[in-house]
Amino acid sequence: MGGETVVVPVCRGVGDLDSIFTFNAVGTRLWMLLAENRTEAELAEYVAQHFAVNAETARRDVQLFLRDLQEAGLLQVA
């Protein structure tokens, strides 16, 4: 949808608009890489290489993204 990915968790109510998440280009790519079981370090390396940010910024941004996914119930850490 306009270069974004829309995620609607099925575990919540269909009418619950707080359950709809959109990801920009970076979030979309991270979401796809997570489906490939990539590690946090691999995600950060990908971001640093493809989105013109330094390694520390990429690491921090990936950590925040993963935390947000966990808090929303979209990601479970084994």
Q: Which residues partner with 7 through β-bridges?
A: 21
Please list, in sequence order, all residues whose beta carbon lies within 8 angstroms of the beta carbon of residue 73, skipping any fewer than 6 positions away. 9, 11, 12
This model's pTM is above 0.85: no
Tell me how far CA of residue 7 lies from CA of 11, 19, 43, 75, in angstroms: 12, 8, 19, 12
Strands (E), the chain: 5-7, 21-23
Tens-of-pLDDT digits for all 78 residues of the chain?
A: 455 555 555 554 555 555 677 888 899 999 999 999 999 999 999 999 999 999 999 999 999 999 989 988 888 877
Tell me how far CA of residue 6 lies from CA of 20, 58, 60, 78, in angstroms: 7, 22, 23, 24
DSSP state of 3: T
pLDDT in tens, 6-24: 555 555 455 555 567 788 8
